[in-house]
Amino acid sequence: MLDQVAFAVVALIMLAAAVKVVSSQNLVHTVLWLGVMLAGTSVVFVMLQAPFLAAIQLILYTGGLLTLMLFGIMLTQRDAASLTIPNPSHRRGFGALLGAAAFGMLAGAISKTPSLPNEHGAMPGTQELGRLFFTQNALAFEVLAVLLLAATLGAIVFARKADAGVPSESAGAEIPARRTLPRTNGQHANPGKGA
């Protein structure tokens, strides 16, 4: 009884936060609501007896990723006005339709599945998790390490200033891109506002 009430409360908070993430007009609010959603996910992990997963969720997502996204916003917004960007209304209806269709399909599939596992024994602890990581999934673990290295290098290469020590071709490539800026803006701002 008590765990059902707790689940309902957490699920409602998470859904409300998720709706705010996709509907909030202020970008900083979007990211902060995402933080509420991620913390709620961590609570769900605790309910599912996955304490290690819950801790990783809090440390990696709510701690690290949120800060990173806030930095991303702060670095790419010139003023307070560019923080608030309305959605174009014609795509909103389309998105709502597809979102509702996806939920309908998933919910239908879940409710029609004849035998979901219902009773559950004791959950193996974090020790078993570590054992699985370094025996059965050791290769995947190593590949993941290489992936993280590649992502780090990729992020550094992308985010570095174009003229900081790389060849002139990439510095030259940036100039025409800057020139197209007013043209691209003009093309898309008008139909967007008209619709």
Site for another protein in 70-109 (CB under 8 A): 71-73, 75-76, 82, 85, 87-88, 91-92, 94-96, 98-100, 102-103, 106-107
Phi, psi dihedral angles at 110 (to 5 degrees) = -65, -45
| Least Cβ distance, residue 116 to another protein (angstroms) | 5
User: Which one of residues 148, 166, 171, 172 is an interface residue with another protein (CB under 8 A)?
Assistant: 148
Q: Shortest approach of another protein to residue 165 CB, angstroms?
A: 16
Least distance in angstroms from the C-beta of 107 to another protein: 6
Kindly identify the residues of this chain, within the stretch 118-137, that bind another protein according to CB under 8 A.
Answer: 118, 120-124, 128-129, 132-133, 136-137
CA 116 to chain centre: 28
Q: How far is the CB of 112 from another protein (least distance, A)?
A: 11
Please give the Cα distance from 6 to 1 (Å, whole number).
9
Binder among 13, 18, 36, 58 for another protein (CB under 8 A)? 18
Residues β-bridged to residue 84: 26
The rounded Cα 97 to chain-centroid distance in angstroms is 21
Sign of CA dihedral 47, 50, 55, 61: negative
Total chain residues near another protein (CB under 8 A): 91
Q: Lay out the site mask for another protein across 35-74 (x = CB under 8 A, - = otherwise).
A: --xx--x--xx-xxxx-xx--xx--xx--xx--xx-xxx-
Closest CA to 41 of 22, 26, 60, 20: 60
Q: Does 11 bind another protein (CB under 8 A)?
A: yes
b/e code 108-123 from CB counts within 10 Å (16+ = b): eeeeeeeeeeeeeeee
